[in-house]
């Protein structure tokens, strides 16, 4: 995810003028979304929705926690020589396989716990944007296309209350 900025404006007419000016740029911006009263809601914009950010973080963590959990469960069963599931007649490889599957399940559950417990600086910025929206302001999410410069001059000419950077360029 590249650089994104959210422009905070206290006047809907200025928001619309800025959006129209930015929409006319060539090449066009990758994303240009107005948020606030009479526009889209914050929950409709995936980039600014904490729940979708948490889901994305969880999916990223599950990719390495599940295989790690499987290997940890397999190794733990081999090292300890536990025979917890002997009565099932699983054979020589059944016991470690069950241990690996249990470890993999633990990795899957851990990805949910880890994703929910991590709070980033960007989450704090999004929370402050939510507060600005509740104060009656409007937001404009701007993301340039790959290799395109952010139109800083145009953003500043709109006299915003704030310009909040999200992501790294």
**CATH number, domain containing residue 161:** 3.30.70
Do the domain assignments include residue 45?
A: no
pLDDT in the model for residue 168: 61
* Residue 119 banded pLDDT, cuts 50, 70, 90: low
Residues 59 and 9 in one domain: no
Q: Is the pLDDT of residue 109 over 80?
A: yes
For residues 16-32, average pLDDT: 91
Domain match, 106 and 59 both: yes
Expressed as residue numbers, the domain containing 104 is 50-117
Within this chain, do residues 68 and 113 fall inside the same structural domain, yes or no? Answer: yes
* pTM (predicted TM-score): 0.66
Q: Report pLDDT for 169.
A: 41
Of residues 123 and 108, the one with the higher pLDDT is: 108
| pLDDT digit string, tens, across residues 50-105 | 777 788 888 889 999 999 999 999 999 889 877 777 777 777 778 888 889 999 99
Residue 42 domain flag: no
- Tally of structural domains, the chain: 2
pLDDT of 1: 54
Q: Is 70 left (phi over 0), alpha (psi -120 to 50) or beta?
A: alpha
**One domain, residues 28 and 55:** no
pLDDT for position 63: 92
Q: Is residue 100 part of a domain?
A: yes
Pair (31, 79) in one structural domain: no
Residue 43 lies in a domain: no
What per-residue string of b and e applies to 96-120 under the rule 16 or more CB within 10 Å gives b?
A: bbbbbebbbebbeebbeeebeeeee
Q: Say if 91 falls within a structural domain.
A: yes
């Amino acid at each position: 995810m590249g650089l994104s900025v959210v422009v905070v404006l206290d006047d809907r007419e200025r928001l619309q003028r800025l959006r129209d000016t930015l929409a006319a740029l060539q090449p066009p911006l990758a994303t240009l979304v107005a948020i606030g009263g009479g526009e889209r809601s914050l929950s409709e914009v995936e980039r600014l929705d904490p729940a979708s950010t948490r889901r994305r973080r969880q999916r990223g963590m599950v990719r390495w926690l599940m295989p790690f959990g499987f290997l940890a469960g397999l190794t733990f069963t081999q090292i300890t020589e536990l025979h917890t599931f002997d009565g099932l007649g699983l054979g020589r490889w059944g016991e470690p396989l069950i241990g690996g599957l249990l470890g993999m399940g633990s990795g899957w559950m851990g990805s949910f716990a880890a994703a929910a417990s991590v709070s980033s600086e960007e989450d704090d910025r999004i929370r402050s944007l939510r507060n600005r929206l509740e104060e009656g302001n409007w937001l404009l999410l701007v993301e340039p296309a790959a290799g395109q410069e952010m139109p800083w001059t145009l953003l500043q000419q709109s006299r915003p209350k704030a310009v909040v950077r999200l992501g790294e360029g």
